[in-house]
């Protein structure tokens, strides 16, 4: 596995792959890699001849007062994991190499960023979109793999890819969880043991939402109220940033459930904000 830090060097390698007609799979990450990232890389490995992964804690997707500095980092362990999964090139740029001080261009899809994380982190998705666009231009991937854990991000990347004509095949990968159901996240390491014990409540609440749909409840407001009550009991030190039932593609609130929906939650434990979601198909549920 090669580790490349210079964007121009990665661009040159990518042009060689293109000239040679090789398919390229790409997995962008912010590092501190875990089994969730690993599953994305393994999927890319299956789907393409060359696999590129990036580790870049992208400053433009963090708002003021968020955890850019505190975001966990372990470059050596990341490199070992990427190598073990069969990544060919690991791209680990410095922020200065990715953004010129005078950079003034953003890529954004505001209509998909009104709710969920976009509501509480108003500049987050333009940072994500911009960096993914820049990475797509460097890597020129055939296929790129993103986790469904960041469902809204995946929806926005699909839109951007179509709107700007990148022509990348976007693959969404299932959420990898701890054995008790907590979605894996690089941020989990920042939880205290007591917070970690409570945090399992996030996925349990989302499972309750699905169970309510399965038993015939179609009023999203009633389900959300019930899950909120459960959150208050199960996670006394958690502060719910949002808990919503949205259309999985448009990321707009749904009141009466008549088709597939997404229950999505963000909960803060002190400085650690965790997200999770559950896709629920009412058709499948009522069969
Ligand atoms: P991050 O490093 O958190 O920015 O995530 C990089 C990629 O890994 C994104 O596409 C995430 O959706 C994905 N990812 C993060 N956690 C998980 C997980 N638990 N299961 C599946 N994919 C994940």
Kindly list the distances between the CA atom of residue 155 and the CA atoms of 30, 128, 129, 158, 247, in Å, as whole numbers in the listed order: 19, 12, 11, 5, 11
| Residue 203 near residue 182, CB atoms below 8 Å | yes
Q: What is the pLDDT of residues 23-42, one digit of tens each?
A: 999 999 999 999 999 999 99
Q: Report CA(44)–ligand 1 centroid distance (Å).
A: 14
Q: Which DSSP category does 257 fall into?
A: -
Is residue 227 over pLDDT 70? yes
- Return the residue whose CA atom lies nearest to atom 6 of ligand 1: 29
Residue 266, pLDDT score:
98
- Return the residue whose CA atom lies nearest to atom 13 of ligand 1: 147
> What is the atom index within ligand 1 of the atom nearest the CA of 30?
2
Mean pLDDT of the chain, nearest integer? 97
Residues across the chain: 287
**Catalytic annotation, residues:** 37
Residue 282, pLDDT score:
85
| Residue 47 near residue 168, CB atoms below 8 Å | no
What is the rounded average pLDDT of the residues 173-188?
98
Q: Domains, the chain, ranges and CATH?
A: 2-173 (3.40.50.620), 186-278 (3.30.1300.10)
What is the rounded average pLDDT of the residues 226-234?
98
């Amino acid at each position: 596995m090669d580790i490349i830090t210079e964007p121009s060097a990665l661009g040159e390698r990518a042009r060689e792959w293109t000239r040679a007609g090789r398919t390229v799979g790409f997995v962008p990450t912010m590092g501190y890699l875990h089994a969730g990232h690993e599953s994305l890389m393994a999927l890319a490995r299956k789907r393409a001849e060359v696999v590129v992964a990036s580790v870049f804690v992208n400053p433009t997707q963090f708002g003021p007062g968020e955890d850019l500095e505190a975001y966990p980092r372990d470059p050596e362990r990341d490199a070992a994991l990427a190598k073990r999964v069969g990544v060919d090139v690991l791209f680990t740029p410095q922020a200065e190499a990715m953004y010129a001080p005078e950079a003034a261009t953003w890529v954004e899809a505001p209509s998909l960023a009104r709710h969920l994380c976009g509501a509480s982190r108003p500049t987050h998705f333009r940072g994500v979109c911009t960096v993914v666009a820049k990475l797509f231009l460097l890597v020129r991937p055939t296929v790129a793999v993103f986790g469904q854990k960041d469902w809204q991000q995946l929806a926005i990347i699909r839109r951007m890819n179509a709107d700007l004509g990148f022509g990348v095949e976007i693959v969404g990968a299932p959420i990898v969880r701890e054995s008790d159901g907590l979605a894996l996240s690089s941020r989990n390491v920042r939880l205290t043991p007591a917070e970690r014990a409570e945090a399992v409540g996030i996925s349990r609440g989302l499972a309750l939402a699905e169970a309510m749909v399965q038993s015939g409840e179609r009023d999203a407001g009633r389900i959300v109220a019930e899950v909120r009550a459960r959150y208050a009991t199960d996670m006394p030190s958690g502060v719910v940033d949002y808990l919503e039932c949205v259309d999985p593609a448009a990321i707009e609130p749904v009141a009466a459930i008549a088709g597939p929906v997404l229950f999505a939650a963000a909960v803060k434990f002190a400085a650690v904000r965790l997200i999770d979601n559950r896709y629920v198909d009412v058709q499948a549920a009522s069969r």
